[in-house]
Amino acid sequence: MMNEVPTPEAMHEMVRPLDDLDRKVLGGLVALWMAQPDKIRDKEWTSECFVHVATVAHGFDENGGATSEDVEVIRKFAEARMPDVLRVGFALFVRVASDLQEREGGFSFENAQECVRVYLEPQPPN
């Protein structure tokens, strides 16, 4: 996990190099972590969530089941992208938690999702 909360600017810099697919997976993962924050340190659960969210993001769940080719695409995607997406995801989770703590009058799951969306929106380079 993280030792310090990244600044909003640092968070945008971490997200900037991610492509649309990475961002979809990242958003899905963070939503799952927000729904069950006690499981964020469970590596097996997080890996399963990554595969599930990646399958949905690739559109492989729409026809009722993944083919062996689909499974191979997800396996290769997870092998190549999971470390970076998880690294940014953990940072985003911590950043959003910090942002929400600063809100007046509490916050909702919808507030958290909106906060995540702001960080996931493409930003122009500095």
3-state secondary structure of 4: coil
Alpha helices in the chain (DSSP H): 8-15, 20-35, 43-58, 68-101, 109-120
Confidence of residue 12 (pLDDT cuts 50, 70, 90): very high
- Burial of residue 77 (CB within 10 Å: 0-12, 13-18, 19+) is buried
Supply the pTM of this predicted model. 0.86
Are 34 and 55 contacting, i.e. CB atoms less than 8 angstroms apart? Answer: no
pLDDT in tens, 24-40: 999 999 999 989 999 99
Tell me the pLDDT tens digit for each residue of 37-70.
999 999 999 999 999 999 999 988 666 677 889 8
Tell me: pLDDT of 125 over 90.
no
pLDDT of 32: 93
